[in-house]
Amino acid sequence: MSINAAIVFAILLASIGGYLLLARWSRRLRARLGVTGGSIVSADDSRLPAPNLYSERLGLVGRCDQLMREGRAYLPVEQKPTAQRLHDSHVLQVGALCMLSQDVYGRRPPFGIVVLAGGKQERVPFSTDLERRVLSAMGQMRGILAAGEEPGPDWVAHKCCACGYHPVCWEPSGGRHPRAA
């Protein structure tokens, strides 16, 4: 065997080994994140970029932490690594992502997934009731923004200050929550 053939063979062998190691690492990472079943289509990180999901019909844009494909359905996955239990805000967020997934991919997902602390998975059924709740919350949020009102007493400094709507929500009180003054 010539030196060139040996080099090509070594590169091919290294490539196959690298692919197998990457596949194994990916399975372990998914298991550690609590994501099992299906295949990951996109992820909100640099290795597997996630597109923004946009629906003109809903006037909504969102991005899943992961988007999985199981059969013909696209399932949104949200990571809540510090949450010990499922909160209503998590359910509404996954519901909105299910609605976006349906509009973008043309298939209604049967559920979305929230992964809590310790990798515990919670399936959130995508029901018509959840869809109505999401649309109601969106209507309330749009009403608050249109009226220029402060959004209410739920001030979470680290989240509110980082939000792009912070100047809109808190502008009447000088960009700060009245209780934070």
Domain range summary for the chain, segments of one domain joined by +: 1-33, 37-146, 148-181
- What does the pLDDT read at residue 169? 62
Classify domain 37-146 at the CATH class level. alpha beta
Distance CA(158)–CA(40), nearest Å, equals: 30
- What does the pLDDT read at residue 128? 96
| Whether pLDDT at 19 is above 70 | no
By percentage, how much of the chain surpasses pLDDT 90?
35
- Report the pLDDT averaged over residues 17-38: 58
- What does the pLDDT read at residue 175? 46
- The most confident of the ranges 8-12, 62-66, 147-151 is 62-66
| Whether pLDDT at 82 is above 80 | yes
Band (pLDDT 50/70/90 cuts) for residue 96 is very high
pLDDT by residue (tens digit) across 132-172? 999 999 998 888 888 877 666 666 666 777 776 666 665 55
Nearest to 78 by CA among 87, 67, 166: 67
Higher pLDDT, 165 or 61: 61
Band (pLDDT 50/70/90 cuts) for residue 108 is very high
Average model confidence (pLDDT) across the chain: 78
Label residue 83 left, alpha or beta by phi (over 0 means left) and psi (-120 to 50 means alpha): beta
